[in-house]
Chains A and B, each alone.
Chain A
Amino acid sequence: MVKALVACRAGVGSSLMLKIKLNEVISEHKLPVQVEHSSLDGLPSFDGPIIVSLSDVAEELKEQGIKKEVVGIKNILDKDEIYTKLSAALKNIGEE
């Protein structure tokens, strides 16, 4: 299983909703991903390869040069967007 961290600024709202939708996508497509969620403060202690966040937060993380596969989601209700981007991330880390 690949660990993915869903992170948002507060860790109680957007990231939680994104985690719920992400888990729907993961179970529908049987993806080998295990999801955790936290605020951005949880990033340093996360040891998995994938970070998922809303697109603006994701852009900021990329600008900071974080050494993880960063997935930015524009519409957290859009399962197609989530699936496409998560699959691409899995490919990038050589998992699919």
Chain B
Amino acid sequence: MIERIIQEDLIKLNIEASDWKDAVKKSAQPLVDDNYITDNYVSEIINSVNEYGPYFVIAPHVALAHAPSEAGAESLAMGISTLRPAIKFNNADNDPVSYVFTLSAPDSDSHLKAMQELVGLLSGDEFYKVLDEAQSPEEILQFIKDSVLNKKIS
């Protein structure tokens, strides 16, 4: 499932960002360009952090950038960005962030399986190594496909 919602052009490697806002914007831009999310959705992610704190830095070095569906999640998709250098999101426990997953979920349950697979990927060590060392988006997508198809993750 997850391999179907991540497209090669939604994966960006070694993004240079000036701060967390810039990192969120640059990570989300491919999803805006392909009409998965609206500009408003991206603004809403940033506004929410200003209001509620960095609530989507979910694990060490990992951010799951997302906003409520009604902010402008048009169709189901996920982008992956790696940040070089890593960027502080002001989350004391999990900073700095190196990996940003931008989620567009138009409803509350169609992405359940994909999120389960993402949890599986993020729970092992190998995925991070691939994210760090990949020379191209294809390599990352291929790793995800292999992991899902070989049921290395559940």
Given the known inter-chain contacts A12-B111, A56-B52, A60-B53, please indicate yes or no for A75 contacting B66, CB distance below 8 A.
Answer: no
Does A48 count as interface, using CB distance less than 8 angstroms?
Answer: no
Instruction: Give CA–CA (A5, B130) in the complex, Å.
Output: 34
Does B1 count as interface, using CB distance less than 8 angstroms?
Answer: no
Does A87 count as interface, using CB distance less than 8 angstroms?
Answer: no
Q: How many residues of B are counted as interface, with CB atoms below 8 angstroms from the partner's CB atoms? A: 31
Q: Which residue of A lies closest to B68 (CB)?
A: A10
The residues of A that contact B60 with a CB separation of less than 8 Å are 75
0 or 1 for each of B61-82: is its CB under 8 Å from A? (1 = yes):
0101011110001000000000
Within 8 Å by CB of A12, from B55, B59, B68, B94, lies B68
Within 8 A of B (CB), among A1-44: 8-14, 16-18, 20-21, 39
Does B91 count as interface, using CB distance less than 8 angstroms?
Answer: yes
Instruction: Give CA–CA (A74, B56) in the complex, Å.
Output: 11
Instruction: Give CA–CA (A57, B55) in the complex, Å.
Output: 7
Given the known inter-chain contacts A75-B59, A75-B94, A76-B59, please indicate yes or no for A12 contacting B105, CB distance below 8 A.
Answer: yes
Binding site for B on A (CB under 8 A): 8-14, 16-18, 20-21, 39, 54-57, 60, 74-78
Binding site for A on B (CB under 8 A): 48, 52-56, 58-60, 62, 64, 66-69, 73, 91, 93-94, 103, 105, 107-108, 111-112, 115-116, 118-119, 122-123
